Amino acid sequence: MASQDWFEKDFYAILGVPQDADAAAIKKAYRKLARKHHPDQNAGDAASEQRFKDIGEAHSVLADPEKRREYDAVRQMARGGARFTAGGPGGGPGAGGFEDVFSSMFGGGGGGGPRVRYSTGGGGGQPNLEDLLGGMFGGAGAGSPYGGGAGFRAPTGPRKGGDLTARTSLSFRDAVQGATVTLGTGGGDQITTRIPAGVRDGQKIRLRGKGQPGDRGAEPGDLILTVTVDKHPVFGRDGDNLTVDLPVTFAEAALGATVSVPTLAGDPVKVRIAPGTPSGRVLRVKGRGVPVKSGPGDLLAKVMVVVPQRLSDDAVAAVEALRALDEGHDPRAELFANARR
């Protein structure tokens, strides 16, 4: 950034924070304004886009303690805290020149202290402010990070490119197992990337180097991809576990049975239904869940006892016989007893 920019721009005002704001207040203000003026929220609004850039520029300086110190020093001079007046006859008492200003800034303000003198280079005119600032912050020599006489610049070198945001939708199966997707960019380009196995609905993935190009010699920004996962007609998800509702008959639940359970991979597995298994009990199949790096989750099969909607005459007779055998037993007695507690 050129010295003229630092003189003209009030980064504190841009972020709406006082000059003594701490790092947390600066970060909070930046995030709030960045969300409000983000290009995704203000498509086609040139003023908002410029405001977004100014906010980012202000945050990059004020969030860095070293750059903020240098910025405050430059702004102090611009406001008149350090007066730049020509020295020599006619200046009057107290109307010190450049050497007085910088002498006091760097420890030479006392009567007997060392004085720092900056030559105007002849001609009696004002010294070149950019050369002066370059000397203050180590940028006077050729090959320095300040441009070597091209004006005062922040000592960060080329700036990294900005981040971009995008969204994509995945099927439930692709989200669990991983997939390769192709994304279109606003410039008409396409980006092909691998989505890792186990991505969740609403998860954000950072694609390194897929954002806006940076300055020459600097890295490009990143692409922040938000993933939406479609619903599956059979399977659900609970963390790294997959879930499935497993229908069983009354006879299977009452007498016990071995039944098949579908898996997302396609090959069914067998599970044992213990005699007297109630509806709602969860059976766990190890290692048949989401294949994440830390180890696959499990498949959780929830037993759902199916009540037939139509019964044959023989089935009705059998159920009535069962009811007669169960006469006198109230399955809700314990429920009402606990309700009175």
What distance in Å separates the CA atoms of residue 197 and residue 166, rounded to the nearest whole number? 19
Res 187: pLDDT: 61
Q: Are 246 and 300 in contact (CB under 8 A)?
A: no
Instruction: Tell whether 30 and 76 lie within a shared domain.
Output: yes
329 within some domain:
no
17 within some domain:
yes
322 within some domain:
no
The tokens for 218 are: 């600097």
Res 4: pLDDT: 57
Summarize the chain as % helix, strand, coil (round to 5): 30, 20, 50
Instruction: Tell whether 199 and 109 lie within a shared domain.
Output: no
What distance in Å separates the CA atoms of residue 134 and residue 151, rounded to the nearest whole number? 7
What distance in Å separates the CA atoms of residue 325 and residue 306, rounded to the nearest whole number? 22
Residue 128, domain CATH: 1.10.287.110
Q: Which of 208, 229, 250 is the last residue of a domain?
A: 229
Instruction: Tell whether 14 and 54 lie within a shared domain.
Output: yes
The tokens for 65 are: 């303690």
9 within some domain:
yes
Res 284: pLDDT: 96
Res 262: pLDDT: 95
Residue 245, domain CATH: 2.60.260.20
335 within some domain:
no
First to last CA, the chain: 73
Res 78: pLDDT: 62
Q: Give the H or E element holding residue 90.
A: none
> Checking DSSP bridges between strand 257-261 and strand 223-229, what pairing results, if any?
unpaired
Q: List, for the chain, all residue ranges whose pLDDT scores fall below the cut of 70.
A: 1-7, 78-157, 185-188
332 within some domain:
no
Strand-pairing partners, residue 227, are 168
Instruction: Tell whether 31 and 61 lie within a shared domain.
Output: yes
Range of the domain at 191: 164-229
Q: Which residues have C-beta within 8 Å of that of residue 34, sequence separation ≥ 6?
A: 52, 55, 56, 59
pLDDT for 119-144, tens place per residue?
444 444 444 445 545 545 444 444 44
Instruction: Tell whether 220 and 289 lie within a shared domain.
Output: no
261 within some domain:
yes
Res 42: pLDDT: 82
Instruction: Tell whether 43 and 91 lie within a shared domain.
Output: yes
Domain count across the chain = 3
152 within some domain:
no
Instruction: Tell whether 225 and 254 lie within a shared domain.
Output: no
| Structure letter (DSSP) for residue 160 | P
> Checking DSSP bridges between strand 164-170 and strand 223-229, what pairing results, if any?
parallel
